[in-house]
Structure 1
Amino acid sequence: MGGDGGSMRRRYSMRINSVRMSAAGRTPVDRVFTADAIMNLVHLIQRERGVTCALLGGSRAESFAPVVRAARRDVDKVMEEQCWPAARCACLAKARASADHPLADALAGRRTSRSDAARVDAFCRAFEDYNSLMRQEIDHAFAQVKVDGYEWELGKMYATYEAFARLKEATGKERAFVCGITSLPTKKSVELVSQRTRADLIVALNEQQLHRTFVKKHAPRTVMQIIETGLTYESTELRNIHRTLEETFDYISLWGVNSYSLWLKYSVHIDRTRQLQVLLDQLMRNAMTKEEEDENVNEDLIARTMALVHAPPAVKPGEAWEGQRDAIMRELVDADADALKRALLRVVDLAGTEEDASLRSFDSPRSPRGVGPEPFRAARPMWPNWLSCLCGGNGATAPSSRPRVVPGRLPPQAAGKFENASFVQKFGIGLYELQFQHKIGSGAAGTTYAADFKGKRVAVKVAGSSEVSLDGWEAEVVVLGYLNHVNVVSFLGAVMEPPTHCLVMEFCEGGDLSAALTRSTPKGFFMRMARGIASGMEYLHSKSILHRDLKSSNVLLSADLEAKVTDLGLSVALRTEDDETIARAHVLTSEIGTYRWMAPEVLRHEWYVTSADVFSYSMVLFEILTHQLPHADRTPLKAALSNATGDGERPRLPEGVPPAVRALVEACWDSMPHRRPAFADIVRRLDAIEAELTPEERAWLDAPEGHPVYTKA
Structure 2
Amino acid sequence: MASQILPSSHGELWSLKTKLEASGAMIIEAGEFNWDSSRYLGQGTNGTVYCMTWNRKDHGDVIQVAAKKTTKVDSNEIEVLMKLKHPNIIGYYGVVFKEPSVFIVMEYAPHGSLDTFLDDRHQAGNMLPLNQVLQWCTNLALAVKYLHDKDLVHRDIKASNCLICQDGELKLCDFNDARQLATTVSTEQRGSLPWMAPEVMSEKKFSKKSDIYSLAVVFWQILTCQVPYADRQTGVQIMWCVCTKNERPSIPQGCPDEFAALMSDGWKEKWSERPDISQILKRLSSVPT
Q: Which bracket does the TM-score occupy, shorter chain normalised?
A: 0.7 to 0.9
Count of aligned pairs between the two proteins: 268
The aligned residue for residue 87 of structure 2 is 486
2:73 matched to 1:470? yes
RMSD (Å), alpha carbons: 2.3
For residues 200-234 of structure 1, give each alpha carbon's deviation from its aligned partner in whole angstroms, at most 9, with x where no partner exists: xxxxxxxxxxxxxxxxxxxxxxxxxxxxxxxxxxx
**SS at 2:73 equivalent:** helix
2:140 matched to 1:537? no
Q: One-letter code of the match for 1:599? A: A
The aligned residue for residue 558 of structure 1 is 165
Distance 1:551 1:632 in 2: 14
**SS at 1:631 equivalent:** coil
The verdict on how the C-alpha distance between 1:414 and 1:683 changes in structure 2, with shifts beyond 3 A counting, is farther
Q: Is the contact between residue 597 and residue 616 of structure 1 (CA under 8 Å) also seen in structure 2?
A: yes
**SS at 2:66 equivalent:** strand
Shift of 1:590: 2.0
Structure 1: gaps (5+ residues): 1-407, 575-580, 699-713
The aligned residue for residue 643 of structure 1 is 242
Q: One-letter code of the match for 2:188? A: S
The aligned residue for residue 59 of structure 2 is none
Distance 2:188 2:128 in 1: 39
The aligned residue for residue 573 of structure 1 is 180
Distance 2:104 2:147 in 1: 19
Distance 1:433 1:666 in 2: 49
Q: Is the contact between residue 427 and residue 481 of structure 1 (CA under 8 Å) also seen in structure 2?
A: no
Structure 2: gaps (5+ residues): 57-61, 122-126
Distance 2:16 2:67 in 1: 21
The aligned residue for residue 653 of structure 1 is 251
Shift of 1:435: 1.8
- Within-5 A mapping of 1:659-678: 659-678=257-276
The aligned residue for residue 594 of structure 1 is 192
Indicate the structure with greater strand content: 2
Shift of 1:614: 0.5
- Within-5 A mapping of 1:344-383: none
Q: Is the contact between residue 419 and residue 496 of structure 1 (CA under 8 Å) also seen in structure 2?
A: no
The aligned residue for residue 118 of structure 2 is 517
**SS at 2:206 equivalent:** coil
**SS at 2:163 equivalent:** strand
The aligned residue for residue 308 of structure 1 is none
TM-score by length of 2: 0.85
Q: One-letter code of the match for 1:431? A: A
2:273 matched to 1:679? no
Shift of 1:626: 1.3
Distance 1:614 1:421 in 2: 32
The aligned residue for residue 502 of structure 1 is 103
The aligned residue for residue 225 of structure 1 is none
The aligned residue for residue 209 of structure 2 is 611
Q: Is the contact between residue 630 and residue 639 of structure 1 (CA under 8 Å) also seen in structure 2?
A: no
**SS at 2:111 equivalent:** coil
Q: One-letter code of the match for 1:553? A: S
Shift of 1:414: 6.7
The verdict on how the C-alpha distance between 1:483 and 1:444 changes in structure 2, with shifts beyond 3 A counting, is closer
Q: Is the contact between residue 195 and residue 213 of structure 2 (CA under 8 Å) also seen in structure 1?
A: yes
Match of 1:435 among 34, 45, 66: 34
Distance 1:461 1:426 in 2: 16
2:235 matched to 1:632? no
Q: One-letter code of the match for 2:242? A: N
Shift of 1:632: 1.1
Q: Is the contact between residue 534 and residue 683 of structure 1 (CA under 8 Å) also seen in structure 2?
A: yes
The verdict on how the C-alpha distance between 1:421 and 1:641 changes in structure 2, with shifts beyond 3 A counting, is closer
- Within-5 A mapping of 1:1-80: none
**SS at 1:461 equivalent:** strand
**Bigger Rg, structure 1 or 2:** 1
**SS at 2:119 equivalent:** coil
Q: One-letter code of the match for 1:456? A: I
For residues 227-276 of structure 1, give each alpha carbon's deviation from its aligned partner in whole angstroms, at most 9, with x where no partner exists: xxxxxxxxxxxxxxxxxxxxxxxxxxxxxxxxxxxxxxxxxxxxxxxxxx
Distance 1:651 1:425 in 2: 43
- Within-5 A mapping of 1:108-127: none
Distance 2:14 2:184 in 1: 24
Shift of 1:553: 0.3
Distance 1:682 1:415 in 2: 45
Q: One-letter code of the match for 2:255? A: V
The verdict on how the C-alpha distance between 1:536 and 1:421 changes in structure 2, with shifts beyond 3 A counting, is closer
The verdict on how the C-alpha distance between 1:416 and 1:680 changes in structure 2, with shifts beyond 3 A counting, is farther
Distance 2:159 2:143 in 1: 14
Shift of 1:457: 1.1
For residues 304-323 of structure 1, give each alpha carbon's deviation from its aligned partner in whole angstroms, at most 9, with x where no partner exists: xxxxxxxxxxxxxxxxxxxx
Distance 1:494 1:478 in 2: 11
Shift of 1:417: 6.1
TM-score by length of 1: 0.36
Q: One-letter code of the match for 2:271? A: P
Shift of 1:604: 0.9
Indicate the structure with greater helix content: 1
For residues 490-516 of structure 1, give each alpha carbon's deviation from its aligned partner in whole angstroms, at most 9, with x where no partner exists: 001112455311111111111110011
Q: One-letter code of the match for 2:41? A: I
Distance 1:522 1:462 in 2: 33
Shift of 1:681: 1.3
For residues 12-62 of structure 1, give each alpha carbon's deviation from its aligned partner in whole angstroms, at most 9, with x where no partner exists: xxxxxxxxxxxxxxxxxxxxxxxxxxxxxxxxxxxxxxxxxxxxxxxxxxx
2:178 matched to 1:548? no
The verdict on how the C-alpha distance between 1:526 and 1:431 changes in structure 2, with shifts beyond 3 A counting, is same
- Within-5 A mapping of 1:378-457: 409=6, 411=8, 416=15, 419-420=18-19, 422-423=21-22, 426-436=25-35, 437=37, 438-453=39-54, 454=56, 455-457=62-64
Distance 1:415 1:525 in 2: 46
Q: Is the contact between residue 77 and residue 178 of structure 2 (CA under 8 Å) also seen in structure 1?
A: yes
Q: One-letter code of the match for 2:238? A: A
Q: One-letter code of the match for 2:244? A: T
Q: One-letter code of the match for 2:220? A: F
**SS at 1:475 equivalent:** helix
Distance 1:478 1:425 in 2: 9
**Identical columns (%):** 29
Q: Is the contact between residue 604 and residue 644 of structure 1 (CA under 8 Å) also seen in structure 2?
A: yes
For residues 407-426 of structure 1, give each alpha carbon's deviation from its aligned partner in whole angstroms, at most 9, with x where no partner exists: x8474967946523744864
For residues 336-394 of structure 1, give each alpha carbon's deviation from its aligned partner in whole angstroms, at most 9, with x where no partner exists: xxxxxxxxxxxxxxxxxxxxxxxxxxxxxxxxxxxxxxxxxxxxxxxxxxxxxxxxxxx
**SS at 2:285 equivalent:** helix
